[in-house]
Structure 1
Amino acid sequence: MPTSPAPLPTATSPSPKRSVVRDVAFLRLWCGTTASGLATWALPFVLGLAALERTLPVAELGLLLAARTVGFLAAVPVGGVLADRHSRRAVVFWSGMAAAASAPLLAAGLGRSVALTATAAALAGAGQGACRPAFQAMVAEVVDADRRQQANAAMTLAVRVTTLTGPTLAALLAVLLHVRGLLLGIGLLWLAAALVPGRGTRSAPPAAPPRASFRAEFADGAREARRHPWFVAGLGALTAVIFAGYSATGVALPLVSRDRYDTEAVLAAALTAYTAGALAGALVIARWRPRAQGWAALAALAGYGFAPLSLMLPVHPAVVVAAYVVAGLGIELFNVPWFTATQREVAPDKLARVSSLDFLLSYGLAPVGLALIAPAIDAFGLRPVLGICALICFVAPAAAALTPTARHFARATDNPL
């Protein structure tokens, strides 16, 4: 018997969206980002191993890490401009190749030439910094709008996994390989980051009049950011939380673990709990769509305040560990909607520059907080400083939530939900 044809999909019966994990273009981008994350997190650990083996003087270790940070901060705005000016795939390729080239230079100069190793470390940081805004912008190219929250959750999940596995893999391989061999392995990871991602839909920007200077183009990206009050407010809150919260974690947590609990186990457990919370947050936000996504994200970001608060009070170690689970959970419940909203709201031809401004301010000021918190503790005491850090973490997101467009991380006339 003949049968009637199946009805075409309509607005009331939409065809199901394919999961991002089945999207080859996204998987290639995800693998490239994961490789860059492994290389990024492994390098400080490998350099630390070199210091332990006395291949690298401790003073030189600090110099190399500082050079890497300087290279990162210098390259982030340049990478954002280039990724909006040219093909983002090309920016990923050349920044990955630059970071890959730094590995053999580090291996050759280790313990022999401070100038060579410092230059190589700066080059590694520059490659890392230049690829970050390009990777972020490429998500919007290879994934349609309806699946970007799931895609961003997968990307941030990769970051958290590499935070754990990068140093661990380096430690395991150190049993078999010399430090120089590990550095060459990091170079191979950067090669993968450069070569694996495929082309996005925007292989090159449309024809345009002669380009302005880098400074003028970056300023144009800053103006685009200011067009979105929710972005300015959210970035201010994120910068404040990272400045205060990460400083407490980096400096005060080891002190409290040693002096109050007389064991390094609390330090290890808290850092592990933070990563576990972040992994859980990425899994939750891959599918959760709160109605007021901006308010929900900012409330989650404020959860980082429980970390310095737990260090301030004489509580059981389990409370400290639980506070760091909440902090990790909250940071990812903020990050994923934040990235997704930026990709949705910002003009596509300025997305990389706005993303680079995000990375430059939020993570660029973190070293300043780390440098200031130890003298502040010496001058005012541990508990008052931690109290101020907790207050900043709670108040900054609450203040950002008062911005009218912050409720949905969208323009006042647009409710994405």
Structure 2
Amino acid sequence: MSTPSPSTSGAAARRRSVLLDPGFLRLWCGTTASGIATWALPFILGLAVLDRGLSAAGLGIVLAARTIGFVVAVPVGGLLADRYSRRAVVLWAAMAAAVATPLIAAGLGSSVTLMATAAAIVGAGQGSCRPAFQALTAEVVDEPRRQQANAATTFSVRVTTLVAPGLTALLATVVSTPALLIGTSALWLAAALAPPRGSSEPQPSRTRAPLHVEFADGVREARRHPWFLAGLGALTAVIATGYSATNVALPLVSRDTYGTEAVLAGALTAYTAGALVGAVIVSRWRPRAQGWAALGGLACYGFAPLSLLMPLHPAVVIGAYVVAGIGIELFNVPWFTATQREVAPDKLARVSSLDFLLSYGLAPVGLALIAPAMSAFGTGAVLTTTAVICFAAPACAALAAGARGFSRRDDASGD
């Protein structure tokens, strides 16, 4: 009997579905648990407002504190994940969130200050985990299967946002709000303990550069990839304008134009359903010009604000949100996969932290500015402007060097 050669064994491993890999399944469980916990906190606190255990102003303060903790911790988490073990960073960051969450429950109805402080720690844990999870995925999963792995992860997040609101509301009928918060603490504990150890560990060094110098090294690494800077700029523009505008305008249009909240609920559900479809498609689809295809998917978000400009049939609005949801995953998964492939492994977490810091960290700024802009210039003008930005920003990014395939190799081949 012949023995398979190492190359044959490696090829067989690459053909095996990533969903059968125990290491990835542990990582997937940890990432999914952190995603559910992240989503659940504002929803559960919203239930507390309905129960009059927390005021609307208090809710705003607590969620703002969590956002501040996230924004501050993202770059620090990226630095630590490149300096030390990515697995250890996930462990301690998620443990911090797990310990702080019960303090939010303890302050409910008695101390907004305690809740805000604890929420800031939870946000810091969330922010530190994000770049570490990204870098850990590149260590646990081999390159040919990373796109499938990233698609599986985003699929789980979308399923959560689709089914979890109803399940949480159902649980709230038999379980108190503090108990629900404690449940998210258990999710953070699972996120801390589930992921496996990565394939490589940082080499010990007697001398370390200051943190700001190492962060500057990460920025320089990002600048080596023009496609990354261009794509990040397009993503930031779409989230800060289009995503923010539709989040503010959709409830208003649903109420004032259609006279029902059904359009709001239908559009949000359609967006998530579209994202699920997009995750399934991109788990297998490998277009030749993957970067351009991804940027085309990102541009599809422009159909969402366009659908709100005129009193169209509700089916048109819902269809536009389905297309936007499909498009966002056609961008997200190749974007994460290309970053994991192209960026230097020892700087991956820092570059990923720059991604999260700009794209998602600036989203609250967009949300804060959209409402005053609508009051000053009108809803139609703001929606038109954001739709143009959603279409134009990815188109401009497609002109950057390496954008065709999200790779510097495109430059070398003359594409």
- Report the TM-score when normalising by structure 2: 0.96
| Deviates most, 406-415 or 189-198 | 406-415
1:289 matches 2:252: no
Q: Deviations over 1:25-45 (max 9, x none)?
A: 000000001111111111101
Following the alignment from structure 1 to structure 2, what is the Cα–Cα distance between the partners of residues 329 and 116?
40
- Verify the 8 A CA contact 2:151 2:283 in the aligned structure 1: yes
Following the alignment from structure 1 to structure 2, what is the Cα–Cα distance between the partners of residues 167 and 121?
21
Look up the match of 2:302. Answer: 305
Following the alignment from structure 2 to structure 1, what is the Cα–Cα distance between the partners of residues 112 and 248?
28
| Structure 1 unmatched runs, 5+ | none
- Verify the 8 A CA contact 2:401 2:411 in the aligned structure 1: no
Look up the match of 1:365. Answer: 362
Q: What secondary structure sits across from 1:406 in the alignment?
A: coil
1:86 to 84, 87, 102: 84
| Deviates most, 47-56 or 13-22 | 13-22
2:174 to 176, 179, 186: 176
Change (3 A) 1:208 1:6: closer
- Verify the 8 A CA contact 2:162 2:273 in the aligned structure 1: no
Following the alignment from structure 1 to structure 2, what is the Cα–Cα distance between the partners of residues 107 and 321?
37
Q: 2:41 is aligned with what amino acid?
A: L
- Report the TM-score when normalising by structure 1: 0.95
Following the alignment from structure 2 to structure 1, what is the Cα–Cα distance between the partners of residues 62 and 85?
31
Deviation, 1:313, is: 2.2
1:390 matches 2:387: yes
Look up the match of 1:240. Answer: 237
Following the alignment from structure 2 to structure 1, what is the Cα–Cα distance between the partners of residues 57 and 85?
40
Deviation, 1:166, is: 3.4
Report matched runs for 1:13-412 at 5 Å: 14-15=11-12, 17-202=15-200, 204-411=201-408, 412=410
| Structure 2 unmatched runs, 5+ | none
Following the alignment from structure 2 to structure 1, what is the Cα–Cα distance between the partners of residues 376 and 103?
42
Q: 1:42 is aligned with what amino acid?
A: A
Deviation, 1:314, is: 2.4
- Verify the 8 A CA contact 1:140 1:148 in the aligned structure 2: yes
Q: CA RMSD in A?
A: 1.7
- Verify the 8 A CA contact 1:44 1:65 in the aligned structure 2: yes
Following the alignment from structure 1 to structure 2, what is the Cα–Cα distance between the partners of residues 62 and 216?
35
Change (3 A) 1:349 1:9: closer
- Verify the 8 A CA contact 1:257 1:264 in the aligned structure 2: yes
Q: 1:70 is aligned with what amino acid?
A: I
- Verify the 8 A CA contact 1:39 1:166 in the aligned structure 2: no
Deviation, 1:52, is: 0.9
Deviation, 1:209, is: 4.8
Q: 1:367 is aligned with what amino acid?
A: P
Q: 1:108 is aligned with what amino acid?
A: A
Following the alignment from structure 2 to structure 1, what is the Cα–Cα distance between the partners of residues 104 and 298?
37
Deviation, 1:104, is: 1.2
Q: 1:406 is aligned with what amino acid?
A: A
- Verify the 8 A CA contact 1:277 1:328 in the aligned structure 2: yes
How many residues were matched structurally?
A: 411
